[in-house]
Amino acid sequence: MYELLGAGIANIIQLKYLIPLTIGTLVGVIGGALPGVTITMTIIVALPFTFGLDPLQGLSAMVGIYVGGSVGGLITATLLGIPGTPSSLATMFDGFPMAKKGEPGRAIWLGIWASFYGGLLGGIFLIAATGPLAAFALKFGPWEYFSLFVLALSMVAGLVEASLLKGLNAGMLGLVVTVLGNDPMMGVPRLTFGIRFLEGGVEFLPVLIGVFAFAQIMTDAEKMGGTQRIAQAVSATAVFAVSHAKVTWEILSRPFLLLWTSLIGVWIGVLPAIGGSAANMMAYDQAKKFSKHPEEFGKGTPEGIIASEASNNANVGGSLVTIMAFGIPGDAVTAVMLGALTIHGIQSGPLFISQQPTLAYGIFAAYLLAHPIMVVITGIAARWALKVITVPKSMLYPIVLVLCVVGAFALNNTMSNVYVLLVFGVLGYAMVKVGLPLAPFILGVILGDQIEINLIRSIMSDPDPWLFVTRPISGLLLATAVGSVVLALWQHHRAEAKKRLRAENAQADAADF
């Protein structure tokens, strides 16, 4: 493993990989810093640029975007009090007060270095866990795959913020998209309604691009129509210089905080659908609970910044594990990476690491190298990023849409994918408006074909349906799927009960008064 990793690093430090990795990290930092532009949107925009590159060049750029994007948000969160991405929301709680107190440099660099160490801890998990998990998955038959995919979908449906029922409905809608088009086993025409384009089924990338890009842009468009400018909260001439040794010591002198919040980040990354946005909040909450000075949180304590930033970068490592070991994307960003692999004809899944070791270890190396690059770029770009974010969204979003069109069209040089983009853009916006979560829907679209293929394969091998339950791994996976649904129901019930209790208490207080 170490030789392969060494070879991967030697490979990545070649200019032809280092350049896309650096550009990707820079683009990620800028995209992350722009409020309203998520890492998902940044990677969607970058996707068409990777078509003409070799797979490792493209994936290096994407890894750079993911790592850079997870850090970029802290710039605006700290200096403007506006989180650039949802994954830097908790950074703002303490970063912004610290910056306002006259220590913007300390706040920024605490975030950058915490991201660096958290990301590297996530990287250790990524490299150590992917191989064994993939080897374990190689023992899977179609029953186990079917159950694993069902588990992934049920977990996503249960973990999203909306109700479980809405999550399940969204996941099923995603599966419905995949039953359109010829059946994947024998190619028998099915539900095409005479539309030739549908015979090949609907590709997931234009669906993903359409759903995520339009859901974001159109929701923002609702508030547009006038001139919007972002006020500058921290003086543009503020000094960002700090003693790096001191900042690093501030982080490393809290090893438990760093390790625990990184672990939370990794674990949330491994779970499908919830990503950095949940990781930073959960880590912040944990840091506050374990702190000797919880009253300092929200007033500019370094612990809050470290917890949030270490967890959201460790989360990237966790997300990459599931895609590299099982071929299941943990979030929309890794789903785009999966799409990029597919475009180059590379099958992801448990065989990926053994069949494509150069690519797999190249991705590990890119992930590790992206971190020092990110430190340099974010350190330099923090001040400049403040200038970039004043670009009005009314100018930015149309350019994003053009790049979405290019991405969809260039998939196989057909306009049909552009129309798919539009149709699913409308659907994505409608889903947001009615409160159906997008993550389970997209995972349904991605996994649908695989669920069908493995279901039919298992029936062809042995028509006994009980095998899904009696085969130990498959049974365990299905039991976990049921368990995750029950847990989600219980959590929802508990949250409702708490809400009711709070409302009753508030009413009682009002009556007493």
Partner 1 sequence: MGRDAITGLVVFAASLFLFWATLGLERHPLVPVGPGYYPRLVLGATGVLALLLVVSDVIAHRRAGAPAARANYTLVAVAFAIFAIYAIALPYLGFRLATFAFLVAMPLALEPPRGARRRWMVVFVVALVVTVVTYLAFESYLQVLLPRGRWTGF
Task: Summarize as ranges the residues that interact with partner 1 (CB under 8 A).
Answer: 48-49, 51-53, 163, 165-166, 168-169, 172-173, 175-176, 179, 182-183, 185-186, 188, 190-191, 193, 217-218, 221-228, 392-395, 397-399, 401-403, 405-406, 409-410, 413, 415, 418-419, 421-422, 425-426, 429, 434-436, 448, 452, 455-456, 459-460, 463
Least Å from the CB of residue 265 to partner 1: 32
Helix (H) or strand (E) holding 14: none
Angstrom distance (rounded) from CA 496 to CA 480: 24
Shorter beta-carbon distance to partner 1: residue 51 or 290? 51
Shorter beta-carbon distance to partner 1: residue 132 or 465? 465
Least Å from the CB of residue 124 to partner 1: 35
Shorter beta-carbon distance to partner 1: residue 121 or 447? 447
Shorter beta-carbon distance to partner 1: residue 107 or 431? 431
Least Å from the CB of residue 153 to partner 1: 11
Q: Which two tokens stand for residue 206?
A: 């234009």
Q: Can you say how many angstroms the Cα of residue 407 is from the centroid of all Cα atoms in its chain?
A: 19
Shorter beta-carbon distance to partner 1: residue 259 or 422? 422
Shorter beta-carbon distance to partner 1: residue 459 or 476? 459
Alpha-carbon torsion 428, 434, 440, 445, what sign? negative
Shorter beta-carbon distance to partner 1: residue 217 or 375? 217
Least Å from the CB of residue 166 to partner 1: 7
Tell me if 498 sits within 8 A of 165, measured CB to CB.
no
Tell me if 313 sits within 8 A of 255, measured CB to CB.
no
Shorter beta-carbon distance to partner 1: residue 380 or 391? 391
Angstrom distance (rounded) from CA 458 to CA 465: 9
Least Å from the CB of residue 442 to partner 1: 16
Q: Which two tokens stand for residue 86?
A: 């949802």
Least Å from the CB of residue 19 to partner 1: 13
Shorter beta-carbon distance to partner 1: residue 162 or 368? 162
Q: Which long-range contacts (CB under 8 A, 24 or more apart) does 183-190 make?
A: 183/452, 184/449, 184/452, 184/453, 185/452, 185/453, 185/456
Shorter beta-carbon distance to partner 1: residue 294 or 435? 435
Least Å from the CB of residue 400 to partner 1: 10
Shorter beta-carbon distance to partner 1: residue 226 or 472? 226
Angstrom distance (rounded) from CA 444 to CA 360: 25
DSSP 88: G
- Least Cα distance to 472 among 136, 26, 162 occurs for 136
Reading phi first (left if > 0) and then psi (alpha if -120 to 50, else beta), residue 20 is in alpha
| Summary count for the chain: helices (H), strands (E) | 21, 0
Least Å from the CB of residue 467 to partner 1: 14
Helix (H) or strand (E) holding 482: helix 472-512
Shorter beta-carbon distance to partner 1: residue 51 or 267? 51
Least Å from the CB of residue 191 to partner 1: 6
Q: At what angle do helices 302-326 and 255-270 cross, to 10 degrees?
A: 40
Residues recorded for the chain: 513
Tell me if 289 sits within 8 A of 338, measured CB to CB.
no
Least Å from the CB of residue 216 to partner 1: 12
Least Å from the CB of residue 228 to partner 1: 8
Burial of 459 (0-12, 13-18, 19+ CB in 10 A): middle
Tell me if 25 sits within 8 A of 380, measured CB to CB.
no
Q: Which two tokens stand for residue 55?
A: 């797979």
Question: Helices marked H in 327-435 — which ranges?
Answer: 332-343, 352-355, 357-388, 393-412, 416-434
Least Å from the CB of residue 418 to partner 1: 5
Angstrom distance (rounded) from CA 61 to CA 230: 29
- What are the strands, taking DSSP E only, across 113-266? none
Shorter beta-carbon distance to partner 1: residue 149 or 364? 149
Least Å from the CB of residue 212 to partner 1: 15
DSSP code per residue over 192-236? -TT-GGGGG---HHHHHHHHHHHHHHHHHHTT-SS---PPP-S-T
